[in-house]
Structure 1
Amino acid sequence: MFLCLSALPASAFEFDALEGGTLDLTDLRGQAVLVVNTASLCGFTDQYAGLQTLHERYGDRGFTVVGVPSDDFRQELSDDAAVAEFCEVNYGLTFPMTAITPVTGDDAHPFYAWLADQGERPRWNFNKALLDPEGQLVTFEGSSTRPLSRKMISAIEGVLPE
């Protein structure tokens, strides 16, 4: 049986969670979700603070940030425990995080293969995929688009559930 990834909503995917278990995007259906590939040792790592602000500002309005640590650009810590400690100690993150996950190439996680089918691929850390409450891709922004930029705020506010 052939499965066409592009026909699936993003909410059809699950990740290994950073601190164990599974992070199933199906559980977030009905919410706007910002999925961000992250790295702890990158020049854009300070964007964690803005992502946490978004999560706090819009969380009660049906919005979630999901962080996806990746070492595809060689800037992630060595293991999941180190990433979890770094994020807690330095940024006090409370939004869901996945285990270290490939986001590019043949080993890319199925969510990122789905993004590639949509014509979007991370080219560096802190690329942002905004999904509407039905799990459809609304916008894909690169590293240079800051989480608290007018562009991101406008896009997020435009897809918040009623």
Structure 2
Amino acid sequence: MSIYDYKVTLENGDSYSLDKYKGHPMIIVNTATKCGFAPQFEQLEAIYKKYQDQGLIILGFPSDQFHQELADGQAAAAACRTQWGVTFPMHQMIKVNGSDADPLFKYLKGEAFGMLGGAIKWNFTKFLVDGEGNVVERVAPKTNPDKMIPAIEKVLAQ
């Protein structure tokens, strides 16, 4: 399987295949609006605005697995827009760890192990995917998204 075989659901309930983003580099991130790392939304949005015309897509996936998210994906997306100015696509609430983890995140974890092996350590684990669908980097929650810019520019230049 490739990343393009996965379907995801936007916060409004509309589902789509990641095949929609073939040829586009992506940052896929699990988010939580009540997390201490939530200011990263501003940095992710700045990166999105700077590079979206070059094809970069950022996809946010709210998760309450670490007990730092609102009641549902719609509430989380609304908070992201009003509090942090997020314009990139936000999705329905998912789980990122365990047997009932979202299939996309199972795939991402299998492609790029982290400090805890396959598990997601915390909110704001970021995965950089190149335009061919390869997971090229897994970035720790505490790492500022701006530190990803050299890798983002490299995949955009491919």
Q: TM-score with structure 2 length normalisation?
A: 0.91
Match for residue 151 of structure 2?
A: 155
**Compared CA separation, residues 106 and 34, structure 1 to 2 (3 A):** same
Match for residue 111 of structure 1?
A: 104
Structure 2 residue matching 1:81: 3-state secondary structure: helix
CA contact (8 A) 2:27 2:127 kept: yes
Mind listing any 5+ residue stretches in structure 1 that lack a counterpart?
1-7
**Compared CA separation, residues 122 and 23, structure 1 to 2 (3 A):** farther
- After TM superposition, which residue ranges in structure 1, 4 or more long, deviate above 3 angstroms? none
Match for residue 78 of structure 2?
A: 85
Match for residue 19 of structure 2?
A: 26
RMSD between superposed Cα atoms in Å: 1.3
Match for residue 100 of structure 1?
A: 93
| Identity level (%) | 37
C-alpha distance after superposition, 1:62-105 (max 9, x if no partner): 10100010011111101223212211111121101110011111
**In 1, Cα distance between the equivalents of 2:76 and 2:110?**
29
Mind listing any 5+ residue stretches in structure 2 that lack a counterpart?
114-118
**Compared CA separation, residues 82 and 30, structure 1 to 2 (3 A):** same
For residue 136 of structure 2, the aligned residue among 135, 138, 143 is 138
CA apart distance, 1:161: 5.2
**In 2, Cα distance between the equivalents of 1:157 and 1:11?**
22
Is 1:67–2:60 an aligned residue pair?
Answer: yes
Structure 1 residue matching 2:60: 3-state secondary structure: strand
**In 1, Cα distance between the equivalents of 2:4 and 2:146?**
24
CA contact (8 A) 2:112 2:137 kept: no
CA contact (8 A) 2:37 2:124 kept: yes
CA apart distance, 1:39: 0.3
For residue 76 of structure 1, the aligned residue among 51, 66, 69 is 69
Number of equivalent positions? 153
Match for residue 127 of structure 1?
A: 125
**In 1, Cα distance between the equivalents of 2:16 and 2:140?**
23
Match for residue 4 of structure 1?
A: none
Q: Which moved more, 1:89-98 or 1:30-39?
A: 89-98
